[in-house]
Structure 1
Amino acid sequence: MGGLTFVDVCSGAGGLALGLEQAGFEPRLLLDDDEVPVETLRANRPRWNVLRADLFTFDPAEHPESYDVDLLAAGLPRVRSSATARRVDSGLEEQLLKATIYLVHAIRPRAVLIENVPELTHADSHEAFREFARTELDHLGYTFSWFVMNAVDFGVPQNRKHGVLVAVRQQWADAFRPPVPTVKEPTTVGAALASSMAARGWADASRWAAQADQPAPTLVGGSKNRGGADLGPTRAKKKWATMGVNAHTVGDTVPGPDFIWDPELGRDNMVKITVEQAALLQGFPAEWGISGLKTARYRQVGHATPPPVGKALGRAVAEALNSDSPAFTAG
């Protein structure tokens, strides 16, 4: 079998797609309805076929390249969870989950990958969607599994749990195994960001990095209706404060040579994480640029699937599809 192919919907900043590319998949089509993430994708991968379109109105018949693919991938906007308990619930995220399953009907990939909050795999509040997905995918001839991954187990310097649905056509399903952790020791915030913190000559970067001796809490991108960028809810902000980081905002630049780091003096004497550093904490390579103004850029980063998670999932799916099972027959 030749190179594996995929369609990616709600692509955002491209974290899941980049990870799948690293796992050996070639994108046929990437889809997002927001102009700014589309700019991000096109700037980083000009050769990718990126379409700005609404998933609800997307017609694969108008884009035949979306047919006969190995994988349909979706890192969808995260549904209501314990971390977003106070958010106004529009139901949009649940509708996008169902729209992705309906798209399976149309393009019939060999495998389906949906990434979202860990609660999606087990919480009573999501039982209706799990039953919907089970009924539809079983009818179409897929065997599926739900499981939870923590990005920190795959080299990402962040405690970030993901609820994952992988559905594989029955003739390859027995060969699928969820990814196993690739690292034994977590990468800390200090280890991930020490070099960037010192980039403008700040002499205390090493001292700060020694205190930032744990993975980051989960980065939260927030919604378009929300205010400016910050590093998450109150509990996360307190965790950041123990690392000498002011999590109430996102920085414009890393500290300069004259910056005095003294957390006991308050927020003004704590470091601020920049959008570029947040991207590093999500496992993006340093060369992956994020388009837009600061808040829009941070939102893209916070919503992204870490590429190392996408890579691990891609490798697990590829191993199943490249197994000695019968050859694929479309339709």
Structure 2
Amino acid sequence: MSPEFYTISQVADILSVSKETLRRWDNNGTLIPERDDGNNYRLYHKSQLEQFEQAQLLFQSNWNDELNIKASRPYKMLELFAGAGGLALGMEKAGLESVLLNELDKHACNTLRENRPDWNVVEGDISNIDFSEYHNEIDVLTGGFPCQAFSYAGKKLGFEDTRGTLFFEFARAVKETNPKVFLAENVRGLLNHEDGRTLETICDVIDDLGYKLVNPRVLKAIFYQVPQKRERLFLVGIRKDLISNSEFDWPSPYHRIMTMKDALKAGELYDCDVPNSEGQKYPKRKAEILAKVPQGGYWRDLPDDLQREYMMKSYFLGGGKTGMARRLSWDEPSLTLTCSPAQKQTERCHPEETRPLTVREYARIQTFPDNWKFSGPISAQYKQIGNAVPVNLAFAVGRSIIKTLNIIEKNTAMNKKKCA
């Protein structure tokens, strides 16, 4: 297919709408695709999409220019809730040097140590760690604190009032280290958690700590060379005394959307097919049923009798349940990876073979390099990968962080020169 044309799946991803919405737009004349004569597929020409802001960002991307962003000096980073290292690895690729990584899970810690013996991995409960020895010694503090509710008492919550949450520990680390910039990532749901009060409280605490928060943004991994429909909320804070010397720009999208074929086959993303590795297995009857699901399909593509057998009581409930009995497609990105590829609610079946994705297939969809090994039993490996920030997404955001630090460095030096 010509690079000037896009399939209905690709357009749905680019415009962040459903295929059903695109079909409705086709029927009411809002956006009418061309038809492939051979198979009657809906195809959209690039010129049709240029009216949409999301497509404009894709077609006019500065991705290649941003690849040239390099650190003007060695910048130091401290990471919390480090997991298996997806965020840290992306930040490393961007040019940040880790001085400490904290993680509670022993298997994830072993993963970090095995792959980066020189990293200072501190295993244990974050609440027991004193970060004050790094005061004014790091440039960036990063981490993905879990989304938790606060105990609201009808008052504006300050830093101390969030005690007992993992956000409090993140904020405490910011207070004790005083980095120039911090980066926090979280689930999209944080935007509306507790009717927005959770994020409002977080913003208030960040302000009290002396940081200016860049307008939070949900980044879609598919726009950053990641073959997966994964969304993460990013919060970036810049120390107030540096605001006048700084600026921050979110990363530009890659020029196209990566697919399962990019993830598992030799090509632009990887120079060889995915290596063999261990993986979970389906029970016999489940495999027999899933074998009848077409590529890109799910339970509704089964005969009615098998739908009833597989879904049981869920068959009569509302909702699409599109993750159930789901087989991925070579020509589309993966759905968001979970902590297990074989869970009934969130199936992630291989596009051709009737089996769950393997550990290395999981890792590739998260854009880990093939030489990044995961420690622990197979269930722990899946969990580590499923919880990770995609490496290429972290790399893209890392370049934006480096650019900001370079600007701060340059302008601070110029101001000192003027005052001398």
- Normalised to the residue count of structure 2, the TM-score between the two structures is 0.59
- Is 1:325 aligned to residue 411 of structure 2? yes
| Cα distance, 1:232 vs structure 2 | 5.7
Distance change (3 Å), C-alpha of 1:230 and 1:318: same
| Cα distance, 1:271 vs structure 2 | 3.4
**Whole-Å Cα distance in 2 between the matches of residues 159 and 293 of structure 1?**
26
For residues 46-101 of structure 1, the C-alpha deviation after alignment (integer angstroms, 9 at most, x for no partner) is 0111111211221124xx24652011100234669xxxxxxxxxxx9x92123201
- Is 1:180 aligned to residue 252 of structure 2? yes
What does residue range 1-331 of structure 1 map to in structure 2 within 5 Å? Answer: 2-61=73-132, 64-65=133-134, 67-77=136-146, 95-120=165-190, 122-125=191-194, 127-145=196-214, 146-170=216-240, 171-172=242-243, 174-181=246-253, 183-194=254-265, 196=273, 211-221=329-339, 229-230=340-341, 234=345, 236-237=346-347, 240=348, 244=351, 261=353, 270-323=354-407, 324-326=410-412
Distance change (3 Å), C-alpha of 1:131 and 1:198: closer
Identical positions, percent: 31
Contact 1:157 1:186 (8 Å CA) reproduced: yes
For residues 167-191 of structure 1, the C-alpha deviation after alignment (integer angstroms, 9 at most, x for no partner) is 011324741111221x222111123
**Whole-Å Cα distance in 1 between the matches of residues 171 and 195 of structure 2?**
15
**Whole-Å Cα distance in 2 between the matches of residues 111 and 299 of structure 1?**
29
User: Any idea what SS the aligned residue of 1:56 has?
Assistant: helix
**Whole-Å Cα distance in 1 between the matches of residues 344 and 234 of structure 2?**
23
Contact 1:60 1:67 (8 Å CA) reproduced: no
Flag structure 1 segments of 5+ consecutive residues without an equivalent: 81-91, 201-207, 222-228, 246-260, 262-269
**Whole-Å Cα distance in 1 between the matches of residues 204 and 329 of structure 2?**
50
The aligned residue for residue 265 of structure 1 is none
**Whole-Å Cα distance in 2 between the matches of residues 110 and 160 of structure 1?**
28
Distance change (3 Å), C-alpha of 1:50 and 1:126: farther
User: Any idea what SS the aligned residue of 2:375 has?
Assistant: coil
Distance change (3 Å), C-alpha of 1:49 and 1:55: same
Higher RCO (CA-CA < 8 Å; seq separation 6+): 1
Contact 2:148 2:165 (8 Å CA) reproduced: no
**Whole-Å Cα distance in 1 between the matches of residues 220 and 338 of structure 2?**
15
Contact 2:76 2:96 (8 Å CA) reproduced: yes
Q: Which letter does structure 2 place at the counterpart of 1:137?
A: I
Flag structure 2 segments of 5+ consecutive residues without an equivalent: 1-71, 150-161, 267-272, 278-294, 297-327
The aligned residue for residue 266 of structure 1 is none
Q: Which letter does structure 2 place at the counterpart of 1:49?
A: N
Distance change (3 Å), C-alpha of 1:79 and 1:296: farther
Contact 1:219 1:231 (8 Å CA) reproduced: no
Q: Which letter does structure 2 place at the counterpart of 1:102?
A: R
Contact 1:119 1:126 (8 Å CA) reproduced: no
Distance change (3 Å), C-alpha of 1:22 and 1:78: farther
Number of residue pairs aligned between Structure 1 and Structure 2: 273
User: Any idea what SS the aligned residue of 2:334 has?
Assistant: coil
When the two chains are superposed, the root-mean-square deviation of aligned CA atoms in Å is: 2.9
Distance change (3 Å), C-alpha of 1:164 and 1:40: same
**Whole-Å Cα distance in 2 between the matches of residues 126 and 98 of structure 1?**
20
Q: Which letter does structure 1 place at the counterpart of 2:248?
A: F
| Cα distance, 1:25 vs structure 2 | 0.3
Contact 2:193 2:199 (8 Å CA) reproduced: no
